[in-house]
Structure 1
């Protein structure tokens, strides 16, 4: 699917840097020992020209030193632009070579499986890259040429990435399932966790300061003052009013906020505060807490776990027209047909819902393509990425997913609270993403292990 170019490999990242956002990258696969034969990479030959030679052969297909050098140099440039510390060039080249080996082995498997990408899909991918970088396709091509990349080379890279993405969808994503039992277990573990870093707490405090030079009599008087404040707080008096009356906090903003310390992870509170409040419910008040600064009374204002789903999410309501590729309708023809639909809708000659009822090839057709309110993660990533980029009332370009070719109209957006069931589905999505990473790593290692790989030393 062409919108999932977030799955670009290291080699393709190097090709596109610095055009593409630094968050893009391939799911990591474990490096294989013994791939260090690349060093020295990119040593110039006499006359200032780089000598090229084969550094690896993957099932009879070569990888050259120049390929590795170019990808390594561009990736190093991208890492520098991201402000990361310098990386040893030889180590980076070894990693790039291993990724190139993995990619070539996977492309070979894709060809054997009959997976390909047509020109229309590559055109769409190129247009998406240009839009992401706020430029036209001609501007993108000019920028690439300035960086030493021919447009044809760039399109070949895009073709490879589309093919790899489709292969990984078929071989990896179809295998991943998350059961209700796994969701239950995850929730139990998180809810019973005492790790302060996974908890977010908001406390309010009354502090009665005790000077370092205070005598025992003075300490006793200050403790009695703190106890009076505690007694009144436990009796239900307004805590913020008691803060203003009793607290010696030097921070006037804290006094004005009723002693509120703010929502933060538990590891950012003093251990004494955590111990005093860990078993308290929201709204409860602690016993007196003695610290080096004095006596504290703590009220629990809020507790939540930072690793559980947010209670509110941005929901989207969209409708679409889906055309499935078939022997009678190619992917390119489906794209052209949807482009015509879009033109007629924008010209006011047709209605999106009516066209969806007449033309869409999925279960939403009867509802005019209406997909209802959707939480993040409910749709496949390539569909959701395009939908999220739309403004209400806007219609997308045709996009390809594993289901076919879509035309999307975003109807509305809203903020909504998650029901308990929706929170479970959000947890399921988190677990599935983790499983995808693990399954991909195993699959990539398996493909690598079945390939014949010959690593070659540099010529002497």
Structure 2
């Protein structure tokens, strides 16, 4: 399928469909996804006497392929099948529970056809299409609109019911907010990471070996261009899947130790390899990182002359004299490159921001007593002579978090926990037979 940039994708994964058929002819060149090999029109699963057919399963697999950005292969089709079947089972259980509640309490919870069509119309509008064009784009990939309609009905109805039943009952106490503020303050001295995640639940997919292999395939597909948010929405078992895997800022110690160890070695913009933990496998994308609040950070520029380690003393003295003269003409970071360009053999550059403790001993000694705008004496290293100009000094760590932000975070965590327990109880009580 064509890779068409999408905007305005909802938390509902099915919203992020590539509407290349609307945007131009490139989409029409991609044939509809073939039905997965080995599936016939029969029973795939029975959920409390309600049948999920292999046609339903094939349709959901096509939808997963279309929305994840992952190219189907013989290796990853079993993974698509597992995810498709798990999603269908959960949605059938949700709809069955909603119908039961409607009957007992004489209320309406399950979205009507008109309400579902309103959501479909909005999805199409956000992607510069009308509902008919949106439907046609699905059909071009062999996907019937009904498979998306029923996914929307189950997910939005379930969210409505859980929030309506439990959301108004949740009370976030002052003691909870205070405890969270104290935890944040205590953690402020440790490094923080802004991450997105995919978590493969080993128990859900059939064991740790399956989880590790599936995660490795997802990493490969992301590296080849599959959008991380789309992959997270479709494959992650974490609550963050609803936001495309976005976790926000975390502090070292909040994630499993194996994930912390990987993050410590990563740089912003890097994607991890699969990280096995006790109950599954993580894939982590590091968006950004920052030092703890107690760390001193410096932003530096340098001017340097390349010299071998065994350069003659006379050559070293001459280079030192040129840099000392240059140092006298530098007036803050904005003049480093301009002044350095006037001295033959000198190369200047921006070293960016770093924690003072992470600098080499020679560099750290040279700049730890300098204020912004000041330049060091020449520093000898194995590769040359350097002078460093301090552009800025500061402390690491995040800004203050408001009380409302903390309350919202706690509310979301508690509601998510309730929803997971609710689904766990439904699965435990249900009769689920897969064929």
| TM-score under structure 2 length normalisation | 0.53
What does residue 300 of structure 2 align with?
Answer: 203
8 A contact 2:91–2:155 mirrored in 1: no
Alignment partners' CA distance in 2, 1:438 and 1:250: 63
Q: 1:184 to 1:139 in 2, by over 3 A?
A: same
Alignment partners' CA distance in 2, 1:271 and 1:43: 60
What does residue 8 of structure 1 align with?
Answer: 12
Superposed CA RMSD: 4.8
Tell me how many residue pairs correspond in the alignment. 303
Alignment partners' CA distance in 1, 2:368 and 2:412: 30
Q: 1:240 to 1:138 in 2, by over 3 A?
A: closer
Aligned counterpart for 1:95 among listed residues 83, 86, 108: 83
Alignment partners' CA distance in 1, 2:186 and 2:163: 31
Does residue 141 of structure 1 match 2:138?
A: no
* TM-superposed deviation, 1:289: 4.2
Correspondence 1:401-420 to 2 at 5 A: none
Aligned counterpart for 1:451 among listed residues 425, 429, 433: 429
Alignment partners' CA distance in 2, 1:249 and 1:184: 53
Higher CA-based Rg: 1
The higher relative CO (CA closer than 8 Å, separation ≥ 6) is in: 1
* TM-superposed deviation, 1:133: 1.9
Alignment partners' CA distance in 1, 2:415 and 2:36: 30
- Deviation sequence 1:190-213 (CA, Å, 0-9, x none): 454396862386422222432456
Aligned counterpart for 1:297 among listed residues 360, 363, 387: 387
Name the SS for the 2:391 alignment partner: strand
8 A contact 2:307–2:384 mirrored in 1: yes
8 A contact 1:205–1:299 mirrored in 2: yes
- Deviation sequence 1:178-225 (CA, Å, 0-9, x none): 724424533553454396862386422222432456213322443455
* TM-superposed deviation, 1:293: 2.9
* TM-superposed deviation, 1:92: 2.4
Alignment partners' CA distance in 2, 1:287 and 1:99: 64
Name the SS for the 2:402 alignment partner: helix
Segments of 5+ residues of structure 2 without an aligned counterpart are 1-7, 21-34, 103-108, 193-263, 269-288, 292-297
Alignment partners' CA distance in 1, 2:191 and 2:340: 35
Name the SS for the 1:182 alignment partner: helix
- Deviation sequence 1:258-302 (CA, Å, 0-9, x none): x544x56779x9756985668977556556544333222323324
Name the SS for the 1:207 alignment partner: strand
What does residue 118 of structure 2 align with?
Answer: 124
What does residue 369 of structure 1 align with?
Answer: none
What does residue 43 of structure 1 align with?
Answer: 38
Does residue 439 of structure 1 match 2:422?
A: no
8 A contact 1:145–1:151 mirrored in 2: yes
